[in-house]
Amino acid sequence: MRQGVRAFCTLIALGEPQASSTVMMALTALGSSLCDPHAAVGHLFLRPEAGRLWTAVERLRPVVEKAATLRTQLSTPYRDGILALDVSGILAAWHEAVASNLFVRSGRKKRVRAKLAAFCDGQVPEDCGRDLALLIELAALAAEVKVMTPDLRLLGSAYDGLATDLAAIAAGVQWSQKVEQICKALSRQEETGRLVDVVATLVRDRAHLFVTDADGYALARGLHEAWGTLQAAVQSLCDLAETDASLGRNSHQDWFAHATARTQSWQDARQRLPMWCAWQKVAEEAKTWGLGPLLEAVNAGAVRRGRCRAAARACAARPAQPWVDTADYHRGSYTRVRARKSPTTVPWRCSLTCRHTR
């Protein structure tokens, strides 16, 4: 995992990263984002001119949506090139053909439909007047969009006049917002803007590194898979150990070193595990004999483990007094230990004095 992180950061010129869990997750997410096809549009919204571009897109949106509605009402699809014609003049010619006498009407209609057929992959309807009226509205919308073109050209290939894919642009905006959050996780507040510029420039100038099978793509995917494998392994390990699954993930700058040291300590302590299990078994049995408070005192350090038998005998010697003072001379303090059963029912020769390690 660490080797993959170093190789990825070297490729994108980010330098040596911190080894905290937060940074590792952010780098993994950044790698996945750079391989996302939406980066081609999204990085434009990380540039300084993003505000102007966003304003132009918002102006374009209702025009494109209205054009899409008008297109659904056409009897057959027409290519956008037809909007460059004098559609109003064609409609006037159609009306004139319809109003002409019987002998010339058919020929004039055919000439009008022939003009439309040049921009139509389907069949022009016999009565094309309705389509011409809709095309006039579309031509007006195309003229409106033309005014916005200087700003919309910033979208590059994503801009396609009235046929612009607004869903792809929206996905690009979401991509840019996600990358900004990643950059905040990877840098101090005063450096976030610079890192955002680095990512935008990287996508603009070196996008070829993150296409399928390219070096950057392989590193990013490998990093993602390694992080997933590591997370699953840590979860399985902590489930077996019945401990916190984060292994200090949110509290250590060098999480790798901390997690490695902690799991190594588990391995080093495995020789003492049988003794600890023996203590747990004895402790559970002792609770059934009414020695729960004594166990709590031992675990809290109030009674030394070597004085368990003495404390138990002191309680048994004065059954009429439920609480008995027993001295803990090692700590220089006094502890009150409660005996819940009479001395005749408590097996004082139990194994509470066995050595145990926690």
Tell me which residue has tokens 């675990």: 299
Could you tell me which residue, 217 or 239, shows the higher pLDDT?
217
3 band by pLDDT with thresholds 50, 70 and 90: confident
Picking from 11-25, 167-181, 268-282, 325-339, which range would have the lowest pLDDT averaged per residue?
325-339
Most confident of 26-40, 225-239, 270-284, 291-305: 26-40
**Can you give the pTM of this predicted structure?**
0.63
227 band by pLDDT with thresholds 50, 70 and 90: confident
Alpha-carbon separation of residue 134 from 57, 121, 125 (angstroms)? 24, 17, 14
| 287 DSSP β-pair partners | none
What's the whole-number mean pLDDT along residues 35-55? 91
Distant-in-sequence, close-in-space partners of 36: CB < 8 Å, separation ≥ 6: 42, 175
As a whole number of angstroms, the distance between CA 38 and CA 285 comes to 63
Could you tell me which residue, 356 or 61, shows the higher pLDDT?
61
| 325 DSSP β-pair partners | 336
As a whole number of angstroms, the distance between CA 124 and CA 108 comes to 15
| 250 DSSP β-pair partners | none
The gap between the terminal CA atoms of the chain, to the nearest Å, is 32
Average pLDDT, the chain: 78
What is the structure's pLDDT at 336? 40
As a whole number of angstroms, the distance between CA 32 and CA 185 comes to 15
Distant-in-sequence, close-in-space partners of 264: CB < 8 Å, separation ≥ 6: none
Handedness of CA 313, 316, 318, 321 (dihedral sign): positive
Q: Are 164 and 64 in contact (CB under 8 A)?
A: yes
